[in-house]
Structure 1
Amino acid sequence: MAQAQDVPEPTEETLGPVTNLPLPRYVSLKTSEGNVRRGPSLTHRIDWVFTRRGMPLEITAEYGHWRRVRDRDGQGGWVHYALLSGVRTVLVEEDMLRVHARPDESSPVMAAFEAGVVAQLGACEATWCEISAEGHDGWAPKSKLWGVKPNELRE
């Protein structure tokens, strides 16, 4: 069985050997608790536990039913794929981030989100993404969000 260190770190976008999906890619934590292991099996030690449902994570490698993930701070390890969701979320990186009615700084402000808020990710244009959390939504500068690639476009 391959060890975690045997799985190469992607240098540019490649396709995962298990899913044939792009690596790296963003997902979210499906559960409110997810064990993060040192390697891709139940026999590997649990290094810590993610405890925030919906938290965006970046998948950097795949091995069988395991995905190597990291969070916004670069912390991570191996989690079972059943703990992950394709539902996209982002982490607000600026305190009191103003979200606008349209992807335009001069459009009306719809809400302000605190740093650390996990928001659903909607459409993304070149420099703006539509996000929503706790009944509020609007467009935010992509550069103020973690969990979306700078060049990513979404409808």
Structure 2
Amino acid sequence: MRLTRRAAATVAVILLASAGQAQQGDARGPVTNLPLPRFVSLKAGEGNVRRGPSLTHRIDWVFKRRDMPLQITAEHGHWRRVQDRDGAGGWVHYALLSGVRTVLVEQDMLAVHARADDATPVIARFELGVVARLGECSHDWCRISAGGYRGWTRKSNLWGVDPDEIRD
């Protein structure tokens, strides 16, 4: 009987380990059931970033850039743990976040093309740090818009979109 319990315990440990590995690739938020991590943007002009998911937690700093792209890494009730491009973050109330997708330009004087092709005309150049609205994305290219200009640029020049993300 002792061997059977030990064998059962071993099988249980293996099954739990396998389930944990499967969930790591398909992580979902416990509140929204949306993928984690995922990108959103700051809806408000200012957003308090707290140490924990409640109003009783200390404010560590304030995000002050409307439409700034953020990455949600965790959920707890009405709170989302977010981080910015530099990895700085904390807990923000969900009402301050928007599902509208924006990206941060990571290359100075980034060429924005008429089509998703380096051979097409450059119709604009965006400065480093510009926040642009994200449109459709193919495997390597994304359509972005800012300041009345819109066009295509390589996905690798943007923060706020996953490298393998495809958008219609």
**TM bracket, shorter-chain basis:** over 0.9
Q: Counterparts of 1:1-155 in structure 2 under 5 Å?
A: 12-155=25-168
- SS of equivalent residue, structure 1 residue 82: helix
- SS of equivalent residue, structure 1 residue 62: strand
- SS of equivalent residue, structure 2 residue 132: strand
**Percent sequence identity over aligned pairs:** 73
Residues 2-48 of structure 1, C-alpha deviations (whole Å, 9 max, x = no match): xxxxxxxx954411000000000000000000000000000000000
* Mapped partners of 1:90, 1:13: distance in 2: 23
Q: Which amino acid aligns with 1:48?
A: W
- Deviating 4+ runs (over 2 angstroms): 10-13
Q: Which amino acid aligns with 2:80?
A: R
* Mapped partners of 2:24, 2:88: distance in 1: 18
* Mapped partners of 1:106, 1:90: distance in 2: 23
TM-score, scaled relative to structure 2: 0.85
Q: Report how many aligned residue pairs link the two structures.
A: 146
Q: Could you tell me which runs of 5 or more consecutive residues in structure 1 were left unpaired when the two chains were aligned.
A: 1-9
Q: Could you tell me which runs of 5 or more consecutive residues in structure 2 were left unpaired when the two chains were aligned.
A: 1-22
User: Which of the pair is proportionally richer in strand?
Assistant: 1
* Mapped partners of 2:25, 2:62: distance in 1: 28
